[in-house]
């Protein structure tokens, strides 16, 4: 198997980069005694040693930020301290959270100004893999390194030898390994695929390694923290099953072959090491490049020693979370969401503020996408639903781009010919694809529905709905 090394791209010219191995990695575990989550400016060694460290914005002085781990049903308290030069908030992505703690400026709280703080305090109803990130100027703050994992452990966790979090990110760096700031807010990114980068990290490292043993059973928690990149992944030397998507367990483990991981999505895998002693297993990324598809090693798993003589039996499913079952789908409320705009689309214009604006004027105001003909959030909710109502939303992607549709405060299921699919909080939709999702609106408050390609949401792919108390 041949792996191509990562490289920086400056403009269209590829600059060859020497190989460098990160000096091991790990998360700084959040200290239980410290309820502070501080966001500030710092440095991170994203690139190999011959490059300077990268100036980043980070939580707890680390990229990713501290892994917050707690037990299902426990209370999470953090004082968010903003030492950034911009207002910010913390959004706890995928948590079926109390609305006031959802971290959306202008909707659930005011943005926290530089020097300010905000006390987050909520309970986590579901076990699984979640993450936290800012929800103000996300297209800049996320790209600068503000994200961290939030892990909620099952009351009865599955039997594994090792539980590893792998946070994937896609950075746009210049030839000095610094964040490419000039392209923040670039309309070209906003109207196309979003801010696609040129330097991929796992847990903040260009090359990450985890030592394993033959026949060892791993739980791998994949989190896509990139602004816009969709990862196409596979595993070599690991026999793996998908056991949860976006934190929510599957009814039965599914053998993991090729995996798509859209922005903000998570996949929990149970992976048994089948590579032999002295070999290396890999998490790999498949990317379309000029020369066709290339395979890159994201994380290597060098194998030394054996955990046991023979492979374990196939894993059982994870215990289910207390997500309410969908009500009667025939009697459910039906809504339609038309996604439009972007480059190579046919949108002529959209409503913004009180009136209709032509595409050119919209673009001048930073909007290039629309939901149902609206390019801004609007003063009134898109829909208001009764608490406990089952809602069906038919989504039509009438654009030339894929999108990652994310609903706050709830998990939904995609409806298909074979019945409702797995619970998710973020749905990847291909260009021109239609999909129907359904969820029980059991969580009162005002909730966003947006594309998680964060340039797209900033550019108009964002709306909100109200669940009555």
Q: Which residues bind ligand C2O (CB under 6 A)?
A: 91, 93, 133, 135, 264, 406, 408, 448, 450, 452
Of 177 and 230, which has the nearer Cβ to Cu ion? Answer: 230
**Applying CB under 5 A, does 229 fall inside the site for Cu ion?**
no
CB of 452 to ligand C2O, least distance (A): 6
The least CB distance from residue 150 to ligand C2O, in Å, is 11
Residue 219 contact among Cu ion, ligand C2O, none, beta carbon within 5 to 8 Å by kind: none
Contacted by 93, from Cu ion, ligand C2O, none: CB < 5 to 8 Å by type = ligand C2O
Extended strands (E) in 173-328: 199-202, 208-209, 212-214, 217-224, 231-236, 238-245, 248-255, 259-261, 266-273, 280-289, 292-306
CB 145 to Cu ion: min, Å:
22
Q: Does 448 bind Cu ion (CB under 5 A)?
A: no
Residue 456 interacting entry, from Cu ion, ligand C2O, none, C-beta within 5 to 8 Å by type: Cu ion
Minimum CB distance to Cu ion, residue 231 (Å): 15
Residue found under tokens 């046991």? 308
d(CA 366, CA 363): 5
Beta bridge partners of 222: 166, 267
Neighbours of 178 (CB within 10 A): 17
Structure tokens at 409: 């405060």
CB of 44 to Cu ion, least distance (A): 27
Q: What's the CA gap between 94 and 2, in Å, rounded?
A: 36
DSSP H or E stretch at residue 190: helix 187-191
Q: Which residue is nearest to ligand C2O (CB)?
A: 93
Q: How far is the CB of 457 from ligand C2O (least distance, A)?
A: 7
Nearer to ligand C2O, 172 or 406 (CB): 406
Cβ within 8 Å of residue 161, ≥6 positions away: 213, 216, 217, 218, 307
- Residue 78 as a binder of Cu ion (CB under 5 A): the answer is no
Residue for token pair 């594994």 = 160
Nearer to ligand C2O, 38 or 456 (CB): 456
Residue appearing with tokens 């060694």: 45
DSSP state of 454: H
**Edge to edge, what strands does the sheet with 434-441 contain?**
369-371, 333-341, 389-398, 434-441, 412-416, 419-424
**Under rule CB under 5 A, how many of the chain's residues touch Cu ion?**
4
451 part of the interface to Cu ion, by CB under 5 A: yes
Residues 6+ apart with CB under 8 A from 133: 90, 91, 93, 141, 142, 146, 147, 148, 225
Is residue 47 a contact point for Cu ion (CB under 5 A)?
no
Regarding 228 and contact with Cu ion (CB under 5 A), the answer is no
Residue 236 near which of ligand C2O, Cu ion, none (CB within 5-8 Å, type-dependent): none
Reference 152, options 123, 184, 118; nearest CA is 123
Q: Alpha helices, DSSP H only, in 242-385? A: 359-364
At its nearest, how many Å lie between ligand C2O and the CB of residue 100?
Answer: 15
**Cα of 319 vs its chain's centroid, Å:** 23
Q: What helix, strand, coil percent values describe the chain, rounded to 5?
A: 5, 50, 45
Binding partner at 450 among Cu ion, ligand C2O, none, C-beta below 5 to 8 Å by kind? ligand C2O
Q: Which of 104, 233, 326, 453 binds Cu ion (CB under 5 A)?
A: 453
Give 346: exposed, middle or buried? Use CB within 10 Å, 0-12, 13-18, 19+: exposed
Q: Which is nearer to ligand C2O, 60 or 103 (CB)?
A: 103
Q: Which does 438 bind (CB under 5 to 8 A by kind): Cu ion, ligand C2O, none?
A: none
- Contacted by 451, from Cu ion, ligand C2O, none: CB < 5 to 8 Å by type: Cu ion
Whole-number minimum distance, CB 178 to Cu ion, in Å? 27
Closest CB to ligand C2O among 215 and 248?
248
Footprint of Cu ion on 353-412 (CB under 5 A)? 403
| Number of neighbouring beta carbons within 10 Å of residue 326 | 18
Identified binder of Cu ion from the candidate list 456, 458, 459, 464, rule CB under 5 A = 456
Which residue spans within 353-433 are E strands per DSSP? Answer: 355-358, 369-371, 383-385, 389-398, 403-407, 412-416, 419-424, 426-429
Q: Could you say whether residue 192 binds Cu ion (CB under 5 A)?
A: no
| Residue in the block written with tokens 């990317």 | 287
CB of 244 to ligand C2O, least distance (A): 17
Q: Least distance (Å) from ligand C2O to the CB of residue 419?
A: 27
Q: Which residues bind Cu ion (CB under 5 A)?
A: 403, 451, 453, 456
């Amino acid at each position: 198997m041949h792996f191509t090394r990562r490289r920086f791209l400056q403009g269209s010219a590829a600059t060859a980069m020497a190989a460098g191995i990160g000096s091991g990695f790990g998360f700084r575990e959040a200290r239980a005694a410290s309820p502070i989550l501080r966001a500030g400016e710092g440095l991170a060694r994203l690139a190999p040693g011959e490059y300077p460290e990268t100036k980043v914005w980070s939580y707890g002085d680390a990229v990713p930020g501290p892994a917050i781990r707690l037990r299902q049903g426990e209370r999470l308290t953090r004082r968010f301290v903003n030492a950034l030069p911009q207002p910010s908030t913390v959004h706890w992505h995928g948590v079926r959270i109390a609305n006031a703690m959802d971290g959306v400026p202008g909707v659930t709280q005011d943005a926290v100004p530089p020097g300010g703080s905000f006390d987050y305090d909520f309970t986590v109803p579901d076990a699984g893999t979640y993450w936290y990130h800012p929800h103000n100027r996300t297209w800049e703050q996320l790209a600068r390194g503000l994200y961290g994992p939030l892990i909620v452990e099952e009351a009865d966790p599955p039997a594994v030898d090792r539980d590893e979090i792998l946070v994937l990110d896609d950075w746009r760096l210049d030839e000095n390994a610094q964040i490419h700031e000039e392209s923040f807010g670039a309309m070209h990114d906003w109207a196309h695929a979003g801010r696609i980068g040129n330097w991929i990290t796992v847990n903040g490292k260009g090359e990450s390694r985890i030592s394993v043993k033959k026949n060892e059973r791993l739980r791998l928690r994949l989190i896509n923290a990139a602004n816009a990149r969709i990862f196409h992944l596979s595993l070599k030397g690991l026999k793996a099953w998908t056991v949860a998507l976006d934190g929510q367990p599957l009814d039965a483990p599914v053998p993991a072959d090729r995996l798509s991981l859209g922005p903000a999505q998570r996949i929990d895998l149970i992976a048994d090491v089948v590579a032999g002693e002295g070999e290396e297993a890999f998490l790999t990324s498949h990317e379309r490049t000029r020369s066709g598809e290339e395979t890159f090693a994201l994380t290597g798993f060098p194998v030394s020693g054996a955990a046991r003589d023979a492979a374990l039996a196939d894993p059982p499913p994870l215990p289910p979370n207390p997500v309410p079952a969908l009500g009667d789908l025939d009697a459910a409320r039906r809504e339609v969401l038309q996604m439009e705009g972007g480059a190579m689309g046919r949108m002529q214009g959209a409503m913004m503020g009180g009136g209709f604006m032509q595409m050119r004027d919209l673009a001048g105001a930073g909007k290039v996408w629309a939901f149902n003909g609206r390019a801004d959030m609007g003063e009134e909710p898109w829909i208001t639903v009764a608490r406990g109502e089952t809602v069906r939303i038919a989504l039509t992607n009438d654009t030339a781009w894929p999108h990652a549709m994310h609903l706050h405060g709830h998990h939904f299921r995609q409806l298909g010919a074979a019945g409702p699919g797995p619970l998710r909080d973020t749905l990847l939709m291909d260009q021109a694809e239609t999909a129907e999702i359904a969820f029980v609106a059991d969580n009162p408050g005002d909730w966003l529905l947006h594309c998680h390609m964060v340039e797209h949401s900033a550019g108009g792919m964002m709306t909100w709905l109200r669940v009555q108390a």
